[in-house]
Amino acid sequence: MPEDRFDPSGYLTFDLARGSASLPDAASAVVLPADVLERVAGGKDGIGPALVARPLGEWLGARLRERLAAGGGNPADASPESFLAQANGLLAVHGLGRISLEAYGDAVLLRTELVVLPKAGAGFLEPFCSGLFGAFLGREVPCLALDGPGGACVLIGSPPAVRRAAQLKAAGVPAETIATRLHQESRAAREGKR
């Protein structure tokens, strides 16, 4: 398993003679100012957050899976600390910000400290997180963007949990209350089956 620290050394390399930049997997890279990416991905004149967010999330999710599989381990068995260290390291070297996770029973609430794309908000976060976690886990991962007191956050859960969260969101229930209620309803359903 990888360390609980992210080592950024050599992550992005520049070949000044060729005028190119590349990433560890030899993929070409383009370094853009954040406001340009924001106009492309999230602005009113942009091509739309989902067209940029999901592929970016998928690409980062695949890199995260590779990093956590280093040494032959199963990435899904990584500790939460290792997962967050590697995820936040990848987000940081791409200038995207940080995430934190809060468990609410069978659902997880992802909070962000976005450096880039704050104007895109939920329209960026939902497809980005779906792509990131989908590529990391190798399956479709339902996500629902919510507005919390600290800004946008994303609920990640099973299809029924995300459908229920969407109902609660439509009824005007706040993000933290949605997550808590999902946990309470899930626990009550499990206890009722005993």
Give the residue extent of every domain in the chain. 13-192
- Asked if the model's pLDDT at residue 7 lies above 90, the reply is no
pTM above 0.85, yes or no: no
- Asked if the model's pLDDT at residue 1 lies above 50, the reply is no
- Beginning with the edge strand found earlier in the chain, give each strand of the sheet holding 28-29 in spatial order: 13-15, 20-22, 28-29
The alpha carbon of residue 32 and the mean position of all alpha carbons in its chain are separated, in whole angstroms, by 20
CATH class for the domain made up of 13-192: alpha beta
In the structure, what pLDDT confidence band is assigned to residue 134 with cuts at 50, 70 and 90?
very high
Which residues are registered as beta bridge partners of 99? 112
Residue % of the chain over a pLDDT of 70: 87
- Asked if the model's pLDDT at residue 136 lies above 90, the reply is yes
Q: Is the dihedral of CA 109, 115, 117, 121 positive or negative?
A: positive
